[in-house]
């Protein structure tokens, strides 16, 4: 009986020891010196495309998941109203310019009359000194000069007023041209269409969101590191990122931004003890030329803060 108890005790000890050895063998090893780990969700800089003018959509070329190039016309708003406005102000501008041209011709003519009258006055003044002309003739020529100068001044005043009208109507022409150009909504940058928010036939308002774009070639991942780890990480440090969708592929990344202040770990961290810690946000820029990574993908990241440390193979998530 006693021997059975001893053997049972030894079996329990052996099983416990074996389990401990198996646990130690299966347990993920800690990160080697020179590295730190963080996790988060892939993000992209999103652009909400909107129109600067309102109207009915007559054409749209937005396809979700498809790329667009900067300057591409992706949506057209009915230009009839704005084109009519442009035609109206252009006609008005043409009429004002014609009035200015006619006034310029009159000014040139009266400028010639003034010069002729002044020459006539100078001649009469010389004749008066020799008593060939009379004072009455001098008074008459002075009246002619005054009349010509007065008419020239009046015409010049009219031209100044018309020139102000020209400046005003030209500003309205430029505004109308701008409004016509705004009926063609263009992509502000190279991007991919994530969400299309409008269809042909809908009437939109100025500033209404039309689509959500993102440049998937420049993807970011924000991870949160404890103070001792964040203190070792510097801008430009190399990193590698892995997502669940591509478990056998590592994406090169670089530390692009480090938050200057500490914060509590965001609530999307699942362990309550970790949420109570003060951490620093570190943003990684990921090379995504093939656009494999998409916003929202969960990702693991390893940052190498010691340039002399060799990358471990394979990269494991520390326990």
Render 272-297 in DSSP notation, one character per residue. Answer: HHHHTSEEEEEEEEEE-TT----TT-
pLDDT in tens, 269-311: 544 545 447 888 999 999 888 888 988 899 999 999 998 888 8
Report how many helices (DSSP H) and strands (DSSP E) the chain contains, helices first: 5, 13
Mean per-residue pLDDT over the chain, rounded: 82
Please report the domains of the chain, with CATH numbers, ordered by start residue. 49-79+183-210 (2.40.50.100), 80-181 (1.10.287)
Q: What's the pLDDT score for residue 160?
A: 79
Q: Within a 10 A sphere around the Cβ of 176, how many other Cβ atoms?
A: 20
What distance in Å separates the CA atoms of residue 281 and residue 236, rounded to the nearest whole number? 15
For the chain, strand residue ranges (E) read 35-50, 55-60, 67-68, 73-77, 184-186, 191-196, 203-204, 209-226, 238-243, 251-258, 263-264, 278-287, 298-304
Residues 6+ apart with CB under 8 A from 28: 316, 317, 318, 319
Give dist(CA 152, CA 165) in Å, integer.
Answer: 20
What integer is the mean pLDDT of 156-162?
A: 79
Residue 267 pLDDT level (bands cut at 50, 70, 90)? low
Cα gap 227→229, rounded to integer Å: 5
pLDDT on residue 5: 57
pLDDT value of position 7: 46
Instruction: Tell if the pTM clears 0.85, that is, is over it.
Output: no
Give the phi and the psi of residue 136 in degrees, each rounded to 5: -65, -40
Q: What is the pLDDT of residue 16?
A: 52
Q: Give the percent of the chain with pLDDT over 90.
A: 32
Instruction: Give the C-alpha distances (Å, rounded to integers) separating 139 from 100, 124, 151.
Output: 34, 10, 18
With cut-offs at 50, 70 and 90, classify the pLDDT of residue 108.
Answer: confident
pLDDT: which is higher, 159 or 285: 285
Helix, strand, or coil (residue 59): strand
Backbone angles phi, psi at 139, to 5 degrees: -60, -40
- Tokens representing residue 32 in the block: 């080697």
Place of tokens 């009469």: 124
DSSP codes of every residue in 163-219? HHHHHHHHHHHHHHHHHHHTTEEE-SSSEEEEEE---TT-EE-TT-EEEEEEEEEEE
For 71-93, the pLDDT digits (tens) are 999 999 999 888 898 899 888 88
């Amino acid at each position: 009986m006693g021997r059975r108890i001893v053997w049972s005790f030894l079996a329990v000890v052996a099983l416990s020891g074996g389990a401990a050895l198996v646990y130690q063998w299966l347990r993920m090893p800690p990160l080697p010196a020179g590295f730190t780990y963080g996790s988060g969700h892939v993000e992209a800089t999103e652009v909400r495309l909107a129109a600067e003018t309102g109207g009915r959509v007559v054409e749209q070329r937005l396809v979700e998941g498809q790329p667009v190039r900067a300057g591409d016309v992706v949506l057209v708003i009915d230009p009839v109203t704005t084109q009519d406005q442009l035609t109206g102000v252009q006609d008005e501008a043409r009429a004002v310019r014609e009035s200015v041209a006619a006034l310029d011709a009159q000014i040139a003519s009266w400028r010639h009359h003034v010069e002729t009258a002044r020459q006539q006055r100078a001649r009469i003044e010389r004749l008066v000194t020799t008593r060939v002309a009379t004072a009455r003739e001098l008074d008459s020529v002075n009246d002619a000069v005054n009349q010509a100068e007065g008419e020239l001044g009046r015409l010049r005043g009219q031209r100044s007023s018309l020139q102000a009208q020209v400046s005003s109507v030209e500003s309205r022409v430029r505004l109308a041209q701008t409004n016509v150009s705004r009926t063609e909504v263009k992509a502000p940058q190279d991007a991919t269409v994530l969400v299309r928010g409008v269809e042909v036939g809908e009437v939109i308002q100025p500033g209404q969101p039309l689509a959500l774009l993102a440049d998937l070639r420049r993807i970011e991942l924000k991870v949160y590191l404890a103070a001792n780890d964040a203190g070792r990480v510097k801008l430009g440090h190399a990193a590698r990122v892995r997502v669940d969708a591509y478990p056998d592929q590592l994406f090169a990344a670089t530390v692009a931004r480090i938050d200057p202040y500490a914060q509590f770990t965001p609530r999307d961290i699942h362990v309550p003890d970790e949420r109570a810690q003060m951490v620093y946000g570190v943003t990684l820029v990921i090379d995504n030329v093939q656009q494999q990574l998409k916003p929202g993908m969960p990702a693991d990241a390893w940052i190498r803060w010691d340039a002399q440390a060799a990358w471990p193979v394979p990269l494991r998530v520390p326990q």
